[in-house]
Copies of this chain bind each other. A is one copy, B any other.
Amino acid sequence: MKCKRCSGPAVVEVRRHNAAFCADCFVHHVREQVRRAIKSHDMFGPEDRVLVCVSGGKDSLGLWDILLDLGFRASGLYLGLGIGEYSERSRLATRAFAAQRGAELIEVDLRGEYGFDIPTAGKKGSRSTCAACGLSKRYVFNRVALDHGFDVVATGHNLDDEAATLLGNTLRWQTDYIARQHPALPEREGMVKKVKPLHRLSELETATYAFIRGIDYVVEECPLVAGNTQLRHKEAMNALEARSPGTKAQFFLGFVEKAASVFAGEDRQGVALTPCERCGQPTTGRFCAFCRARAQVLGERLAQAAGDPRTDHRQVAGELSEEVMPAEIYASSGGRDG
Protein backbone atom coordinates (compact mmCIF):
# COMPACT_ATOMS: atom_id res chain seq x y z
CA MET A 1 0.00 0.00 0.00
CA LYS A 2 1.13 3.50 -0.82
CA CYS A 3 0.39 6.65 1.11
CA LYS A 4 -2.49 8.50 -0.57
CA ARG A 5 -0.83 11.84 0.03
CA CYS A 6 2.93 11.37 -0.55
CA SER A 7 3.05 7.93 -2.27
CA GLY A 8 5.58 6.68 0.29
CA PRO A 9 5.03 3.32 2.05
CA ALA A 10 1.76 3.41 3.99
CA VAL A 11 1.44 2.22 7.57
CA VAL A 12 -2.25 2.95 8.27
CA GLU A 13 -5.34 2.09 6.23
CA VAL A 14 -8.57 4.04 6.65
CA ARG A 15 -11.10 1.77 5.00
CA ARG A 16 -14.06 4.11 4.99
CA HIS A 17 -12.01 6.72 3.12
CA ASN A 18 -10.56 3.95 0.94
CA ALA A 19 -7.16 5.47 1.74
CA ALA A 20 -3.85 4.61 3.33
CA PHE A 21 -1.22 6.93 4.85
CA CYS A 22 2.36 6.96 6.04
CA ALA A 23 2.82 8.06 9.66
CA ASP A 24 3.47 11.75 8.89
CA CYS A 25 0.60 12.05 6.43
CA PHE A 26 -1.72 10.23 8.85
CA VAL A 27 -0.99 12.88 11.48
CA HIS A 28 -1.73 15.48 8.80
CA HIS A 29 -5.00 13.68 7.93
CA VAL A 30 -6.08 13.65 11.58
CA ARG A 31 -5.30 17.33 12.05
CA GLU A 32 -7.18 18.15 8.86
CA GLN A 33 -10.26 16.27 10.07
CA VAL A 34 -10.14 18.21 13.33
CA ARG A 35 -9.53 21.50 11.55
CA ARG A 36 -12.49 20.76 9.30
CA ALA A 37 -14.72 19.91 12.27
CA ILE A 38 -13.74 23.13 14.06
CA LYS A 39 -14.29 25.24 10.98
CA SER A 40 -17.51 23.75 9.67
CA HIS A 41 -19.21 23.97 13.06
CA ASP A 42 -17.61 27.26 14.01
CA MET A 43 -16.36 25.70 17.26
CA PHE A 44 -13.75 28.26 18.31
CA GLY A 45 -11.06 30.57 16.98
CA PRO A 46 -7.40 31.26 17.81
CA GLU A 47 -8.32 33.86 20.45
CA ASP A 48 -10.74 31.63 22.36
CA ARG A 49 -9.72 29.88 25.56
CA VAL A 50 -10.58 26.20 25.18
CA LEU A 51 -11.01 23.88 28.17
CA VAL A 52 -10.22 20.30 27.09
CA CYS A 53 -11.77 17.69 29.38
CA VAL A 54 -9.05 15.06 29.72
CA SER A 55 -9.56 11.59 31.16
CA GLY A 56 -6.04 10.33 30.45
CA GLY A 57 -7.28 8.20 27.55
CA LYS A 58 -6.28 8.31 23.89
CA ASP A 59 -9.15 10.49 22.72
CA SER A 60 -8.94 13.37 25.15
CA LEU A 61 -5.12 13.49 25.32
CA GLY A 62 -5.01 13.15 21.53
CA LEU A 63 -7.46 16.03 21.20
CA TRP A 64 -5.42 18.23 23.53
CA ASP A 65 -2.27 17.35 21.57
CA ILE A 66 -3.90 18.23 18.24
CA LEU A 67 -5.34 21.52 19.50
CA LEU A 68 -1.96 22.60 20.90
CA ASP A 69 -0.27 21.68 17.61
CA LEU A 70 -2.89 23.62 15.68
CA GLY A 71 -1.99 26.64 17.82
CA PHE A 72 -5.13 26.91 19.93
CA ARG A 73 -5.18 28.17 23.53
CA ALA A 74 -6.07 24.82 25.09
CA SER A 75 -5.92 24.05 28.81
CA GLY A 76 -6.77 20.67 30.33
CA LEU A 77 -9.28 19.78 33.03
CA TYR A 78 -8.85 16.52 34.92
CA LEU A 79 -11.73 15.41 37.12
CA GLY A 80 -10.77 12.79 39.71
CA LEU A 81 -13.68 10.36 39.88
CA GLY A 82 -12.26 8.21 42.68
CA ILE A 83 -12.39 4.96 40.71
CA GLY A 84 -9.42 3.36 42.54
CA GLU A 85 -6.22 2.60 40.67
CA TYR A 86 -7.83 3.48 37.35
CA SER A 87 -8.36 7.09 38.41
CA GLU A 88 -4.84 7.31 39.82
CA ARG A 89 -3.23 6.06 36.63
CA SER A 90 -5.40 8.45 34.65
CA ARG A 91 -4.36 11.40 36.78
CA LEU A 92 -0.67 10.56 36.40
CA ALA A 93 -0.93 10.16 32.61
CA THR A 94 -2.70 13.50 32.37
CA ARG A 95 -0.14 15.28 34.56
CA ALA A 96 2.74 13.77 32.61
CA PHE A 97 1.27 14.91 29.30
CA ALA A 98 0.62 18.45 30.59
CA ALA A 99 4.17 18.70 31.94
CA GLN A 100 5.68 17.40 28.71
CA ARG A 101 3.71 19.92 26.65
CA GLY A 102 4.08 22.73 29.17
CA ALA A 103 0.31 23.18 29.13
CA GLU A 104 -1.99 24.37 31.92
CA LEU A 105 -3.83 21.59 33.75
CA ILE A 106 -6.70 22.21 36.16
CA GLU A 107 -7.42 19.35 38.55
CA VAL A 108 -10.65 18.82 40.45
CA ASP A 109 -11.24 15.94 42.82
CA LEU A 110 -14.90 14.98 43.06
CA ARG A 111 -14.64 13.70 46.64
CA GLY A 112 -12.46 16.60 47.76
CA GLU A 113 -14.73 19.20 46.20
CA TYR A 114 -18.18 17.62 46.48
CA GLY A 115 -17.83 14.93 49.14
CA PHE A 116 -18.50 11.78 47.11
CA ASP A 117 -16.89 9.61 44.45
CA ILE A 118 -18.42 7.73 41.53
CA PRO A 119 -18.37 4.21 43.02
CA THR A 120 -20.27 5.58 46.04
CA ALA A 121 -22.72 7.45 43.83
CA GLY A 122 -23.37 4.24 41.89
CA LYS A 123 -24.10 2.35 45.11
CA LYS A 124 -26.07 4.96 47.05
CA GLY A 125 -27.87 7.05 44.46
CA SER A 126 -30.87 6.15 42.35
CA ARG A 127 -28.89 6.58 39.12
CA SER A 128 -26.71 3.98 37.43
CA THR A 129 -22.97 4.46 37.93
CA CYS A 130 -22.55 5.65 34.35
CA ALA A 131 -25.45 8.10 34.64
CA ALA A 132 -24.08 9.55 37.90
CA CYS A 133 -20.64 9.85 36.32
CA GLY A 134 -21.98 11.58 33.21
CA LEU A 135 -24.03 14.01 35.27
CA SER A 136 -21.04 14.85 37.51
CA LYS A 137 -18.73 15.40 34.55
CA ARG A 138 -21.16 17.67 32.72
CA TYR A 139 -21.71 19.67 35.89
CA VAL A 140 -18.04 20.09 36.82
CA PHE A 141 -16.91 20.78 33.25
CA ASN A 142 -19.43 23.59 32.93
CA ARG A 143 -18.75 25.02 36.36
CA VAL A 144 -14.97 25.04 36.00
CA ALA A 145 -15.24 26.61 32.55
CA LEU A 146 -17.42 29.40 33.94
CA ASP A 147 -15.29 29.93 37.04
CA HIS A 148 -12.07 30.16 35.03
CA GLY A 149 -13.48 32.20 32.17
CA PHE A 150 -13.10 29.68 29.35
CA ASP A 151 -14.99 30.33 26.11
CA VAL A 152 -15.69 26.74 25.24
CA VAL A 153 -15.49 23.20 26.63
CA ALA A 154 -14.09 20.53 24.28
CA THR A 155 -14.54 16.80 24.86
CA GLY A 156 -12.81 13.88 23.15
CA HIS A 157 -15.91 12.12 21.80
CA ASN A 158 -14.96 10.36 18.61
CA LEU A 159 -17.08 9.08 15.71
CA ASP A 160 -17.59 5.69 17.36
CA ASP A 161 -18.84 7.35 20.55
CA GLU A 162 -21.22 9.59 18.67
CA ALA A 163 -22.53 6.84 16.39
CA ALA A 164 -23.15 4.51 19.34
CA THR A 165 -24.86 7.26 21.33
CA LEU A 166 -27.01 8.21 18.36
CA LEU A 167 -27.93 4.54 17.88
CA GLY A 168 -28.99 4.30 21.53
CA ASN A 169 -30.98 7.52 21.38
CA THR A 170 -32.59 6.38 18.12
CA LEU A 171 -33.44 2.87 19.31
CA ARG A 172 -35.41 4.56 22.10
CA TRP A 173 -36.47 7.52 19.92
CA GLN A 174 -35.43 9.96 22.62
CA THR A 175 -36.09 12.80 20.27
CA ASP A 176 -34.99 15.51 22.73
CA TYR A 177 -31.61 13.81 23.21
CA ILE A 178 -31.31 13.35 19.45
CA ALA A 179 -32.06 17.04 18.94
CA ARG A 180 -29.13 17.94 21.16
CA GLN A 181 -26.59 15.45 19.79
CA HIS A 182 -24.67 18.00 17.78
CA PRO A 183 -20.89 18.47 17.43
CA ALA A 184 -21.26 22.03 18.72
CA LEU A 185 -23.82 23.20 21.26
CA PRO A 186 -23.98 26.97 21.55
CA GLU A 187 -23.55 28.86 24.79
CA ARG A 188 -26.67 29.81 26.66
CA GLU A 189 -27.20 31.60 29.92
CA GLY A 190 -25.10 29.88 32.59
CA MET A 191 -23.96 27.17 30.21
CA VAL A 192 -20.73 27.38 28.32
CA LYS A 193 -20.44 26.33 24.66
CA LYS A 194 -19.62 22.61 24.19
CA VAL A 195 -17.84 21.10 21.20
CA LYS A 196 -16.61 17.70 19.98
CA PRO A 197 -13.74 18.30 17.54
CA LEU A 198 -12.96 14.56 17.10
CA HIS A 199 -16.42 13.62 15.83
CA ARG A 200 -15.11 12.98 12.30
CA LEU A 201 -12.46 10.47 13.49
CA SER A 202 -13.04 6.83 14.40
CA GLU A 203 -11.73 5.22 17.56
CA LEU A 204 -9.21 3.34 15.42
CA GLU A 205 -7.97 6.64 14.04
CA THR A 206 -7.64 8.34 17.43
CA ALA A 207 -5.84 5.29 18.84
CA THR A 208 -3.48 5.21 15.87
CA TYR A 209 -2.85 8.93 16.23
CA ALA A 210 -1.95 8.56 19.93
CA PHE A 211 0.34 5.64 19.12
CA ILE A 212 2.14 7.44 16.29
CA ARG A 213 2.52 10.58 18.39
CA GLY A 214 3.93 8.55 21.29
CA ILE A 215 1.29 9.78 23.73
CA ASP A 216 1.47 7.78 26.95
CA TYR A 217 -2.23 7.24 27.62
CA VAL A 218 -4.24 4.90 29.84
CA VAL A 219 -5.26 2.00 27.62
CA GLU A 220 -7.70 0.28 29.96
CA GLU A 221 -11.37 1.19 29.84
CA CYS A 222 -13.10 2.37 32.99
CA PRO A 223 -13.58 -0.81 35.10
CA LEU A 224 -17.16 0.20 35.96
CA VAL A 225 -18.32 0.44 32.36
CA ALA A 226 -18.21 -3.30 31.53
CA GLY A 227 -21.39 -4.48 29.87
CA ASN A 228 -22.99 -1.09 29.68
CA THR A 229 -25.46 -0.19 27.01
CA GLN A 230 -23.08 2.11 25.15
CA LEU A 231 -20.67 -0.80 24.67
CA ARG A 232 -23.46 -2.95 23.21
CA HIS A 233 -24.33 -0.20 20.79
CA LYS A 234 -20.66 0.09 19.82
CA GLU A 235 -20.57 -3.65 19.17
CA ALA A 236 -23.66 -3.39 16.96
CA MET A 237 -22.12 -0.50 15.00
CA ASN A 238 -18.81 -2.36 14.69
CA ALA A 239 -20.58 -5.42 13.26
CA LEU A 240 -22.33 -3.23 10.67
CA GLU A 241 -19.13 -1.30 9.90
CA ALA A 242 -17.17 -4.52 9.34
CA ARG A 243 -19.61 -5.53 6.61
CA SER A 244 -20.10 -2.02 5.20
CA PRO A 245 -17.14 0.30 5.88
CA GLY A 246 -18.44 3.83 6.27
CA THR A 247 -21.66 2.90 8.09
CA LYS A 248 -20.73 4.82 11.25
CA ALA A 249 -19.72 7.94 9.35
CA GLN A 250 -22.82 7.78 7.16
CA PHE A 251 -24.97 7.37 10.25
CA PHE A 252 -23.53 10.13 12.43
CA LEU A 253 -22.26 12.63 9.85
CA GLY A 254 -25.38 11.96 7.75
CA PHE A 255 -27.45 12.78 10.82
CA VAL A 256 -25.62 16.07 11.36
CA GLU A 257 -26.01 16.99 7.69
CA LYS A 258 -29.44 15.71 6.79
CA ALA A 259 -31.52 14.82 9.82
CA ALA A 260 -30.52 17.08 12.72
CA SER A 261 -32.77 19.81 11.34
CA VAL A 262 -35.74 17.41 11.37
CA PHE A 263 -35.33 17.09 15.15
CA ALA A 264 -34.69 20.76 15.85
CA GLY A 265 -38.22 21.30 17.15
CA GLU A 266 -37.80 18.43 19.64
CA ASP A 267 -35.17 20.22 21.71
CA ARG A 268 -36.77 21.09 25.02
CA GLN A 269 -34.30 23.90 25.59
CA GLY A 270 -37.19 26.31 25.35
CA VAL A 271 -37.77 25.49 29.03
CA ALA A 272 -36.83 28.48 31.20
CA LEU A 273 -33.75 28.03 33.39
CA THR A 274 -33.29 29.54 36.84
CA PRO A 275 -30.30 29.34 39.19
CA CYS A 276 -30.20 26.25 41.44
CA GLU A 277 -30.99 27.38 44.99
CA ARG A 278 -28.04 25.36 46.23
CA CYS A 279 -25.21 26.02 43.77
CA GLY A 280 -26.41 28.72 41.41
CA GLN A 281 -25.97 26.64 38.24
CA PRO A 282 -28.85 26.76 35.74
CA THR A 283 -31.74 24.35 36.26
CA THR A 284 -35.36 23.87 35.28
CA GLY A 285 -36.43 23.15 38.86
CA ARG A 286 -35.62 24.53 42.28
CA PHE A 287 -32.44 22.49 42.67
CA CYS A 288 -30.27 21.24 39.83
CA ALA A 289 -29.93 17.54 38.98
CA PHE A 290 -26.35 17.42 40.27
CA CYS A 291 -27.24 18.92 43.65
CA ARG A 292 -30.20 16.57 43.95
CA ALA A 293 -28.06 13.54 43.06
CA ARG A 294 -25.35 14.66 45.48
CA ALA A 295 -27.86 15.21 48.30
CA GLN A 296 -29.23 11.74 47.70
CA VAL A 297 -25.76 10.16 47.82
CA LEU A 298 -24.75 12.12 50.94
CA GLY A 299 -28.13 11.64 52.64
CA GLU A 300 -28.58 15.41 52.93
CA ARG A 301 -31.72 17.46 52.66
CA LEU A 302 -31.52 20.15 50.06
CA ALA A 303 -34.05 22.61 51.43
CA GLN A 304 -32.54 22.42 54.92
CA ALA A 305 -29.09 22.77 53.48
CA ALA A 306 -30.29 25.89 51.75
CA GLY A 307 -31.57 27.11 55.09
CA ASP A 308 -35.18 26.98 54.03
CA PRO A 309 -37.65 26.87 56.92
CA ARG A 310 -40.47 25.57 54.71
CA THR A 311 -39.08 22.03 54.65
CA ASP A 312 -41.40 19.16 55.43
CA HIS A 313 -41.23 15.48 54.55
CA ARG A 314 -43.43 15.69 51.52
CA GLN A 315 -41.35 18.54 50.20
CA VAL A 316 -38.13 16.59 50.64
CA ALA A 317 -39.62 13.65 48.79
CA GLY A 318 -40.68 16.04 46.07
CA GLU A 319 -37.21 17.52 45.77
CA LEU A 320 -35.59 14.15 45.39
CA SER A 321 -38.09 12.78 42.90
CA GLU A 322 -38.42 15.95 40.88
CA GLU A 323 -36.50 14.67 37.91
CA VAL A 324 -35.58 16.74 34.93
CA MET A 325 -33.69 15.30 31.99
CA PRO A 326 -29.97 15.99 32.49
CA ALA A 327 -29.97 16.80 28.78
CA GLU A 328 -32.04 19.84 29.49
CA ILE A 329 -29.43 21.18 31.81
CA TYR A 330 -25.97 20.05 30.91
CA ALA A 331 -26.35 19.15 27.29
CA SER A 332 -26.06 15.42 27.59
CA SER A 333 -26.86 13.51 24.50
CA GLY A 334 -27.28 10.28 26.40
CA GLY A 335 -23.82 8.81 25.93
CA ARG A 336 -20.56 8.79 27.78
CA ASP A 337 -18.51 11.91 28.35
CA GLY A 338 -14.80 11.46 27.85
Verify A236–B232 contact, CB threshold 8 A.
no
Q: Is A240 an interface residue (CB 8 A)?
A: yes
Residue of B with least CB distance to A243: B232
Main secondary structure on A side of the interface with B? helix
Q: Interface residues of A, CB < 8 Å — how many?
A: 25
A254 to B168, CA, bound (A): 13
Q: Is A72 an interface residue (CB 8 A)?
A: no
* Chain B residues closer than 8 Å to A258, beta-carbon distance: 173, 175
Question: Which residue, A171, A233, A247, A258, has most C-beta atoms of chain B within 10 A?
Answer: A171
Verify A254–B172 contact, CB threshold 8 A.
yes
Which residues of A239-260 have CB atoms within 8 Å of chain B's CB atoms? Answer: 239-240, 243-244, 247, 250-251, 254-255, 258-259
A244 to B227, CA, bound (A): 12
Q: How far is the CB of A224 from chain B (nearest CB, A)?
A: 18
Q: Which of B175, B236, B259, B266 sits near A239, CB closer than 8 Å?
A: B236
Q: Is A235 an interface residue (CB 8 A)?
A: yes
A235 to B173, CA, bound (A): 20
Q: Is A262 an interface residue (CB 8 A)?
A: yes
Q: Is A211 an interface residue (CB 8 A)?
A: no
Verify B170–A170 contact, CB threshold 8 A.
yes
